Amino acid sequence: MKIEVHHGRKWIPTFLGLAPALAIVAGLVGCGGGKAQVLTPPLTPPLLLSVTISPKNVSNLPAAGTQNFTATVSGTNNKTVNWKVEEGASCGSVTSTGTYFAPNSPGLVCHVVVTSQADSTKTDKASITISPVSMYVLPYQVALGIGQTQTFTATVQGTPNTAVTWSVMEGLSGGTITSLGVYTAPQSLGTFHVIATSQADSRFAGSAVVDVVPLAVSVSPPADTLGPLGTRMFAANVVGPNQAVTWSIQEDPNGGLITSGGDYTAPQTLGTFHVVATSQADSTASGLGVVTVVASGFTLGNPMDQTRAEHTATLLPDGRVLVAGGTSSTGCSLSSIEIFDPMSNSFSDAGAMSVGRAGHTAIALSDGRVLIAGGSTCAAGTLASAELYDPTSGTLASTGNMTTPRLFQTATLLQNGRILIVGGEYPEGSEFSMGSAELYDPSTGTFTATGSMQKARVGHSATLLQNGKVLITGGYTPACSGCITVPDNTAELYDPGTGTFAPTGIMPGPIAWHTATLLPSGLVLVAGGDFCGANGAGGGSECSEEDGTNQALLYDSATGTFNATGAMAYARIGHSATLLPGGNVLIAGGIGADPVTQDDVTTFSAELYDPATGLFRRTGSMAFGRRGHTATPISNARVLAVGGSDNFGNALSSVEIYK
């Protein structure tokens, strides 16, 4: 007999014969007999499926720390679950077994979610607060000699208590360290670890690796190319407690001169020579620097009265050089001007402009006067004003204003005597490049607008071609409306006859702050430049920051195309390029890669491009690394390199002459 459904309750179907434990009570109702009634007990309802995560809340989990979570599933025999981080990868990751890995980002609030595989609607969630405390130790790794000392620093972020406790993981056998982070290496070789532990939260610690190695000496730079009487300051790095060295020249007395401080002067004899630094603690330990002396190179000249960067240097008809404005060591623009006399190889004061200017242009007109225009000043920002320097009278006079303020624009003397002003930046520091252009007419002293470029540009180049047109290449252009500017690979031609710009060839890669030099053949040498841009925005996936290229191209105006030529020895940004009387091009300075560390540094190196071979070769280096300097051809086939910034961004007053 089957169990029935009574009063709307569903009872579990079964057969009486299969339910011996079921109590059956029969009774008779009345005398005439009655029906037997079957009674059943109430059945237990099914359990509801649920998921519970544990722990539910985790506070102050260290950045990059781990936490194990467990999931309890009830109401089903399927206990398997899926794990995920609600916010995605920015909040870390979790394994299939519930082990959570926190991101290396202090101060976040993240959530781990567990979901039943039996019923995806059943979930639970845990909240994790990543501790705001983080710390690191500098330097991360260092090589020391036995008994040598090194001061470490610990940076603690996310707590007002920045105090740390210093220790050595290996104990006394790994050296000692003071409460101020001064470490002393042990008397044995090996690898040891310095630990800084946060006093605010001892779960947080930073570490540094110390390699204790035998005494060693190295020389920096390890190699250089100099011209006769060229100079180089060498430095010795000693792994050991006694840093003192003795300097010598292996080919003494014919290999040049070196001071006790490592200041070397090359001989007038060409060849390869060796500078030696010998440890005073152990004469068997020494380092070597190789010097190649070639026929041409830089030698130091008499310095300017002012330190200058982002200045201009303009060759005057009588062979002197007008140096105007720029930024000083204080970072503010200068109004002063100086004149270099190649006969005396010295500078003299030549008065002052009406306002300080940096990032301006200064170009010689057909009549010998110099048009100085635009730039920026500390007091008034980007300028539209212009003035004229007359080398005959040695005086400055105002002239008409540009149609708009400009900074880092280009200025080109056209064959009709007018000056073409192109692009630039406005307002200062905005990263807004300009597409407009204008013409200065010396006969009227006025600027008028001309056609605009196809793209807005700053950090571009402008080169007068033999056919009278002006080639505009690269520069920083906006990637989209309102976007930051990035290096560009396009080029345009300005036609003075029509007053318009038209596209021309495409370069293989984007560049800005490069150089473009007209060769005697009519080709244009385009060299170096920044191909990545700020934060690596312009050069593709391989770019993470501003980075230079050693690429060199030749532009052919007859075909309107760019073609690769030999690459430079060094990648460069903000270098100089100067056409020499023999047709070679001198490339000097800029931001380039250090030959040892490959880090970006302001380089002192120089090289020559030979159009006959299409190749670059090293020539004598400058005494100082410099970028944003000027390099002007002067009498007797020489080049005057002036000012610029050093590796730390300091403006320079030093001057060097290439011969």
pLDDT at 29: 39
Query: Residue with structure tokens 């595989």?
Result: 117
3-state class of 145 per DSSP?
coil
Whether the per-residue pLDDT at 470 is higher than 90: the answer is yes
pLDDT reading at 285 higher than 60: yes
Identify the pLDDT of residue 558.
Answer: 97
Q: Which residues contact 345 (CB under 8 A, 6 or more apart)?
A: 301, 302, 657
Q: Residues with Cβ < 8 Å from 120, sequence gap 6 or more?
A: none
How far is the C-alpha of 367 from the C-alpha of 91, rounded, in Å?
68
Q: Decide if pLDDT at 159 tops 60.
A: yes
For residue 21, pLDDT over 70 is answered with no
Mean pLDDT score, 474-481: 83
Whole-number pLDDT of residue 14: 37
Backbone phi, then psi, for 111, in 5-degree steps? -140, 130
3-state secondary structure of 224: strand
> Residue 427 — pLDDT band, cuts 50, 70, 90?
confident
Residues near 17 by beta carbon (within 8 Å), at least 6 away in sequence: none
Closest CA to 339 of 652, 651, 632: 632
pLDDT at residue number 628: 94
Section 6-20 average pLDDT: 36
> Which has more pLDDT, 44 or 583?
583
Provide the phi-psi class of 593: left if phi over 0, else alpha when psi is between -120 and 50, else beta: beta
Mean per-residue pLDDT over the chain, rounded: 90
62 pLDDT band, cuts 50/70/90, is confident
The pLDDT of residue 20 is: 38
Report which of 649, 648, 635 is spatially closest to residue 658, judged by C-alpha positions. 635
Rounded to an integer, the average pLDDT of 449-477 is 97
d(C-alpha 361, C-alpha 462), whole Å: 12
Residue 319 has pLDDT above 60, yes or no: yes
Confidence of residue 16 (pLDDT cuts 50, 70, 90): very low
pLDDT higher than 80, residue 272: yes
The pLDDT value recorded for residue 37 is 54
The pLDDT of residue 480 is above 80 = no
The sign of the CA dihedral 536, 541, 543, 544 is positive
Instruction: Judge whether residue 450 has pLDDT over 90.
Output: yes
Which amino acid is residue 441, in one-letter code? D
Of residues 121 and 42, the one with the higher pLDDT is: 121
- Widest CA span of the chain, in angstroms? 149
Under the banding of pLDDT at 50, 70 and 90, the label for residue 180 is very high
Selection from 165, 193, 206, 166 nearest residue 62 by Cα: 206
How far from each other are the two terminal CA atoms of the chain, in whole angstroms? 119
Of the segments 105-109, 224-228, 427-431, which one has the largest average pLDDT value?
224-228
pLDDT digits (tens, 9 = 90+) for 287-308: 999 999 999 999 999 999 999 9
pLDDT at 548: 87
In the chain the domains, ranked by start, together with CATH numbers, are 1-45 (no CATH), 50-130 (2.60.40.1080), 134-212 (2.60.40.1080), 216-293 (2.60.40.1080), 298-658 (2.120.10.80)
Query: Among candidates 595, 481, 459, which has minimal Cα distance to 532?
Result: 459
- Checking if the pLDDT of 39 tops 80, the result is no
Instruction: Look at residue 104 in the predicted model and tell me its pLDDT.
Output: 75
Kindly tell me the sign of the dihedral angle through the C-alpha atoms of 311, 312, 313, 316: negative
| Higher local confidence (pLDDT), 20 or 460 | 460
pLDDT of 485 higher than 60: yes
Cis before 427 (ω within 30): yes
Greatest mean pLDDT among 24-28, 134-138, 262-266: 262-266
How many C-beta neighbours within 10 Å does residue 529 have?
Answer: 31
Residue whose C-alpha is closest to residue 211's, from 154, 146, 166? 146
Pick from 106-110, 318-322, 361-365, 506-510: least confident: 106-110
The identity of residue 121, as a single letter, is T
| Angstrom distance (rounded) from CA 377 to CA 51 | 68
Residue % of the chain over a pLDDT of 70? 89
Contact (CB, 8 A) for 69 and 98: yes
- The reported pTM is 0.77
Higher-pLDDT residue of 46 and 559 is 559
Task: Supply the DSSP string of 497-511, one letter for each residue.
Answer: TTTEEEE-PPPSS-B
Using CA atoms, how far apart are residues 157 and 165, in angstroms rounded to an integer?
Answer: 15
| pLDDT of residue 44 exceeding 80 | no
**Does 33 score more than 70 pLDDT?**
no
Residue range 111-140: average pLDDT?
92
Give the tens place of pLDDT for each residue, 589-637: 999 876 666 678 999 999 999 999 999 999 999 999 999 999 999 999 9
Percent of the chain with pLDDT over 90: 78
Residue 545: band (very low, low, confident or very high) from pLDDT cuts 50, 70, 90: low
Q: In this predicted structure, which of 34-38, 150-154, 553-557 has the lowest mean pLDDT?
A: 34-38
DSSP string for residues in 362-383 = EEE-TTS-EEEE--EETTTEE-
- Assign residue 75 a region: left if phi > 0, alpha if psi is -120 to 50, beta otherwise? left
